[in-house]
């Protein structure tokens, strides 16, 4: 067991890392963050920020020498970096688990090999793969296998010709071609698993996306309890098969009442931000506990919650980057009972960039959803259907 005031290492300096730093500090640990961005949200509150690339081995040596264990908030950390660090100190999740989650071909293959429900897909490594792909996959979504996020590196394609065009546009990078599913809704399960294999899952959440980016999370999900329970079982099975240690996010599609795994995130997940405000233990505290060998906390929700993401366009008067920039009027949000605002202190607001979020908590789901959507409109987020 790694006890405070030991120093924990965090690869990645985004908002997920920032919440980890806060949770670790609350529990008496120090945190070093490694991230190439000198203004990273986690780096600026860490005990030390190593401004370095993930493959800077001199920096990794220093990081390993200064930390007692290492985790990540960023799935695109090269697996080689995790393998290298693991020679010197505990690294959770493992390079292998991260490698599966960071490549859509490896991820889908893992799901197929383990009999875990997922949508129809084909691995596309060259144009011939596309020419051979089953016609029943169209209309489809072509997604680059690596480095896509928030709907980036994805193209909706009606037929094979459009898919070929999109594949060339992605410079022939390896992709997956997924059948476009008609979604009843989207769910996620975030869980923590420790080295002994104990799993604690948060209640299943419901996610609404806008332009491919998570917009609103509602927890607990407004679905039949049996479906929510089944999603938890599937997520737990994935964690076991990956021999996962840490906090894991699993995204699901619900299609004609059936569950399909969309993707996994080997880190805390945007759809469990609300656990900070609505659960007995947050997903970030669980990440600290799993990493240090402390017993996992109780994941139950003490409140219903609705979380709304605040994207960079909100910082522009006309909601796009060529209009004047200004700070939104947060007093509109602070006036709402049960609302908690979290800003990530990002250096620059870019449209589509996650700059902060708020969570409304309360006794019942319908009320928190209503209050959150009203607050969302009051601050000036007007599009999207809920």
Binding to ligand ADP by CB under 6 A, coded x per residue (else -) over 181-200, reads x-x--x--------------
Among Mg ion, ligand ADP, none, the one that 141 touches (CB under a kind-dependent 5 to 8 A) is: ligand ADP
Query: Which of Mg ion, ligand ADP, none does residue 151 bind to, with CB < 5 to 8 Å depending on kind?
Result: ligand ADP
Residues in Cβ contact with 8 at an 8 Å cutoff, skipping those fewer than 6 apart: 2, 24, 29, 30, 31, 32, 67, 68, 69, 70, 71, 288, 291, 292
150 touches which of Mg ion, ligand ADP, none (CB within 5 to 8 A by kind)? ligand ADP
Q: Figure out which of the listed residues 31, 141, 177, 221 binds ligand ADP, where binding follows CB under 6 A.
A: 141
Which residue, 270 or 292, is less far from ligand ADP as judged by CB?
270
Which partner, Mg ion, ligand ADP, none, binds residue 215 by CB below 5 to 8 Å per kind?
none
Q: Which residue in the set 262, 275, 292, 309 belongs to the binding site for ligand ADP (CB under 6 A)?
A: 262
Among the listed ranges 13-21, 143-151, 190-198, 242-250, the one in contact with ligand ADP (CB under 6 A) is 143-151
Nearest approach, Cβ of 104 to ligand ADP (angstroms)?
8
The dihedral sign for the CA sequence 143, 149, 151, 152:
negative
Q: Please report whether residue 268 would count as binding ligand ADP according to CB under 6 A.
A: no
Q: Is 78 in the site for ligand ADP (CB under 6 A)?
A: no
Per-residue x/- marks for Mg ion, 226-265, CB under 5 A?
-------------------------x--------------
Q: Which range binds ligand ADP by CB under 6 A, 44-52, 124-132, 146-154, 332-340?
A: 146-154
- From 155, 180, 185, 336, residue interacting with ligand ADP (rule: CB under 6 A): 180
Radius of gyration of the chain (CA): 20
Residues 318-357 that bind ligand ADP (CB under 6 A): none
Q: Does 119 contact ligand ADP by CB under 6 A? A: yes
State the angle between helix axes of 15-26 and 283-292 in degrees (0 to 180), rounded to the nearest 10.
70
183 binds, among Mg ion, ligand ADP, none (CB under 5 to 8 A by kind): ligand ADP
Torsion-angle region of 277 (φ positive above 0: left; ψ -120 to 50: alpha; else: beta):
alpha
The span from the CA of 59 to the CA of 40, in Å, is 17
Structure tokens, 262? 């969309």
Q: Which two tokens stand for residue 74?
A: 């960023």
Q: Which is nearer to ligand ADP, 117 or 212 (CB)?
A: 212
d(CA 378, CA 360): 14
Residue closest to 253 by CA, chosen among 177, 187, 174, 335: 187
Considering only residues 199 through 228, tell me which ones interact with ligand ADP, judged by CB under 6 A: 209, 212
Of 46-54, 166-174, 175-183, 217-225, the segment contacting ligand ADP by CB under 6 A is 175-183
The values of phi and psi at residue 328, to 5°, are -55, 160
For residue 223, give every residue at least 6 positions away whose Cβ sits within 8 Å of its Cβ, in sequence order, or none: 185, 187, 204, 206, 254
Regarding 149 and contact with ligand ADP (CB under 6 A), the answer is yes
- Give 87's contacts (C-beta < 8 A, 6+ positions apart): none
Contact flag: residue 263 with ligand ADP (CB under 6 A): yes
Does 117 participate in binding ligand ADP (rule CB under 6 A)? Answer: no
107 binds ligand ADP (CB under 6 A): no
Minimum distance, C-beta of residue 150 to ligand ADP, in the bound complex (Å): 5
Choice between 194 and 251, CB closer to Mg ion: 251
Q: Which residues form the interface with Mg ion (CB under 5 A)? A: 251
Q: Which residues form the interface with ligand ADP (CB under 6 A)? A: 119, 141, 143, 148-151, 178, 180-181, 183, 186, 209, 212, 251, 262-263
């Amino acid at each position: 067991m790694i006890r405070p005031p030991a120093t924990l290492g965090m690869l990645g300096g985004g908002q997920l890392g920032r919440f980890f730093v806060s949770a670790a500090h609350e529990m008496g640990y120090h945190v070093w963050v490694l991230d190439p961005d000198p203004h990273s949200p986690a780096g600026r509150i860490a005990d030390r920020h190593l401004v370095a690339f993930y493959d800077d081995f001199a920096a990794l040596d220093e990081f390993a020498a200064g930390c007692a264990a290492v985790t990540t908030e960023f799935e695109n950390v090269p697996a080689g970096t995790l393998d290298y660090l693991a020679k010197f100190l505990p690294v959770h999740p493992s390079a292998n688990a991260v490698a599966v989650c960071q490549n859509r071909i490896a991820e889908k293959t893992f799901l197929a090999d383990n009999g875990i429900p997922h949508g129809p897909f084909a691995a596309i490594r060259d144009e011939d793969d596309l020419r051979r792909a089953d016609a029943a996959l169209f209309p489809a979504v072509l997604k680059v296998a690596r480095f896509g996020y928030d709907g980036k590196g994805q193209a909706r394609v009606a037929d094979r010709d459009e898919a070929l065009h999109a594949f060339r546009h992605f410079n022939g990078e390896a992709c997956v071609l997924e059948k476009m599913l008609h979604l009843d809704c989207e769910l996620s399960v975030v869980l923590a698993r420790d080295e002994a294999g104990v799993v604690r899952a948060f209640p299943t959440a419901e996610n609404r996306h806008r332009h491919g980016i998570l917009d609103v999370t509602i927890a607990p999900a407004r679905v039949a309890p049996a479906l929510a329970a089944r999603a938890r079982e599937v997520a737990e099975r994935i964690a076991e098969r990956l021999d996962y240690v840490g906090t894991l996010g699993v995204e699901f599609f619900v299609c004609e009442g059936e569950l399909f795994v969309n993707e996994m995130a080997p880190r805390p997940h945007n759809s469990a931000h609300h656990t900070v405000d609505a659960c007995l233990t947050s997903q970030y505290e669980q990440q600290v506990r799993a990493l240090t060998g402390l017993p996992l906390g109780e994941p139950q929700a003490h409140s219903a919650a609705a979380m709304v993401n605040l994207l960079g366009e909100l910082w522009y008067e006309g909601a796009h980057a060529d209009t004047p920039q200004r700070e939104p009027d947060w007093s509109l949000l602070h006036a709402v009972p049960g609302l908690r605002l979290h800003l990530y202190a990002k250096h620059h607001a870019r449209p589509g960039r996650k700059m902060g979020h708020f969570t409304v908590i309360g006794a019942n789901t319908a009320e928190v959803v209503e209050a959150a959507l009203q607050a969302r409109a009051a601050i000036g987020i007007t599009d999207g259907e809920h």
